[in-house]
Chain A
Amino acid sequence: MRTLAKLTWVEMKLFSREPITMVFSLAFPLVMLLVLAAVFGNEAETEFRDAIPVDYYVPGYLAVVIASVGLIGLPVHLAAYRERGILRRFRASSVSPWSLFGAQVAVSFVIAAVGSVLLVVAAVLMYDAQLPESPARLLLAFVVSTLSFVSLGFLLGTLLANARAAQAVGLLLFLPMWLLSGAGPPREVMGGAMRVISDALPLTYVVTALQDAWLGLGSSVTELLVLSGMLLAAGALSVRFSRRV
């Protein structure tokens, strides 16, 4: 436990010393949210699930924070650690793999949480956004979503040989998810093929689950089940492949 805490603390310090990662994980979603809130004004609209745009986009951009941590931050970090021999150095010490990976999970959680708090505070102060209708459900959706994307990040970080590959594949996954999950144009305006693609993207389920909790809409049971399924599948595959490597 002491090892896990110290590893997490050191990893947090290391994260805070990487300006580019910081900007991408924390500042990018924040800036995007503020731009969208400014563009779409302050009237409730049917396309935005009958909500004021900023209230629609706050949970959507919490999802973007989670996606950027899980699809880019974590895989690039892990692939770089393996590529450069840092994982080897850790493996040759007596630290257990569970502490090592537990610390990555913890750090991902903290980054996602810090990014989310920044978003909410900015949205409330600048656009008078509403707070979540159902905080408990929001917390549940946030935890399940983050865990499922972190496990996806582990899988990517395990399978991809180096940081460059992880960065490329991560962006390739991140961009369509960001644009088509409901965090870009609302799903209500999507038609045909766009909607089909949107339905197939894991981030769509995160956006919907967080919005449901934030706006006090549906129960999002389906979304949470889909995400839990992804969590288990990606988790199992990462364990299997990391043993092989």
Chain B
Amino acid sequence: MAGVIEVEHLRKSYGSTVAVDDVSVEVAEGEIFGVIGPNGAGKTTTVECAQGLRRSDAGRIRVLGLDPRSQAQELRRRIGCQLQEAALPDRIKVWEALDLFACFVPGASDWRTLMEQWGLAEKRNAPFASLSGGQRQRLFVALALVNDPEVVFLDEMTAGLDPAARRVAWGLIRAVRDRGTTVVLVTHHMDEAEQLCDRVAVIDRGRVAAVDTPDGLINRFGGPIGLTFSADRPDLAWLEQIPHVRQVTRKGQRVEVEGTGPVLALVAAELVNHGITPSDLRVRQPTLEDVFLTLTGREIVGGVEQQ
């Protein structure tokens, strides 16, 4: 695994506030690497240190083998950055912004294609100030990609996008990854991390709580799989004997089974063997939201972290 980004024992404080306590992560070439965590956990600070936009207090960072502290200029030619807080001049037109940023790097990709892909073609002559939140966001992502970067950092890429536009954005980011670009994605949306990321780091209180594939995280920290169905048989004790079943509870006809791994297939097979074929068998698979709750102690409702 070639480490395109290596962060070792990063530390960064603002005055007496420790934003990043001790973060170490390695991002491999060509993956979409997600960074999730509660507000103020240090996600953006970590990413901005890697982009050379902030100076770390301690630790070692290498991006494409370059030190963002001393080789920021060279680094920025090869990376793309979409920042959480940024703006353009009010009266610059969409095409002017793309054309301008493309000219900063010799041999940049054709900005007209990006303008089409990110749905900005009909806004090409609109001034920045007149764009909606979603349009601005798409313009910033397009600007981050305009230099054909080897690594692109996206911080809250889909903030302000409607659900349909988010799905389009995910598809475009996958296509960027498929062309070989490494993507670092800071996000608040657990579904986005689950759908899009090859691996995810959970950061909490300035430290890395866990790094794994979304499935790996869910298996390790997501908690049990839940099955529910109705059955009127009095004797269901055999259910507890099925491997991977942890717990069985009954509420009248309602049966709830908790288990792990292949529990669904095993329980379903045994039910059929015992002549039970409930038409209301439901499964509740744990998601990254459960992982988030387990690791950070904070709950996510409707994809959004609760304060």
Contacts and interface: CB of A to CB of B under 8 A. Distances in A.
Contacts of A3: 103-104
B101 A93 contact: yes
Interface residues of B, number: 25
Given A3-B103, A14-B89, A94-B104, A88 B77 contact: no
Nearest to A86: B87
Interface string A1-36: 011001100100110011000000000000000000
19 contacts: A3-B103, A6-B100, A10-B100, A14-B91, A17-B91, A81-B89, A84-B87, A85-B87, A86-B86, A86-B88, A88-B53, A88-B85, A89-B87, A89-B88, A89-B140, A92-B76, A93-B81, A93-B101, A94-B77
Contact of A94 (B89, B99, B127, B147): B147
B104 A92 contact: no
A240 interface: no
A91 interface: yes
Contacts of B192: none
Contacts of B76: 92-94
B300 interface: no
Given A89-B143, A94-B147, 7 more contacts: A6-B103, A17-B127, A88-B85, A89-B86, A93-B101, A93-B147, A95-B104
Contact of B85 (A6, A81, A85, A91): A85
A96 interface: yes
A18 B92 contact: no
Nearest to A5: B103
Contact of B73 (A84, A88, A94): A94
Contacts of B89: 14, 81, 86
- Pairs of residues from A and B, 6 with the lowest C-beta to C-beta distance, nearest first: A92-B81, A89-B86, A94-B77, A94-B76, A17-B91, A84-B87
A96 B99 CA distance: 17
Contacts of B295: none
A91 B103 CA distance: 15
Interface in B179-236: none
A93 B143 contact: yes
A3 to B, nearest CB: 6
A88 B100 contact: no
Contacts of A10: 92, 96, 100
A7 B81 contact: no
Contact of A96 (B73, B85, B87, B127): B73
A92 B96 CA distance: 18
A92 B86 contact: yes
Given A7-B100, A10-B100, A85-B86, A91 B92 contact: no
B83 interface: yes
Contacts of A88: 53, 83, 85-86
Contact of B83 (A2, A7, A85, A95): A85
A96 B76 CA distance: 10
Contacts of B147: 93-94
Contacts of B140: 89
Nearest to B147: A94
A74 B88 CA distance: 17
Nearest to A96: B73
A61 to B, nearest CB: 28
Interface in A44-86: 81, 84-86
Contacts of A6: 99-100, 103
Interface centre among B53, B86, B105, B147 (most CB of A within 10 A): B86
B51 interface: yes
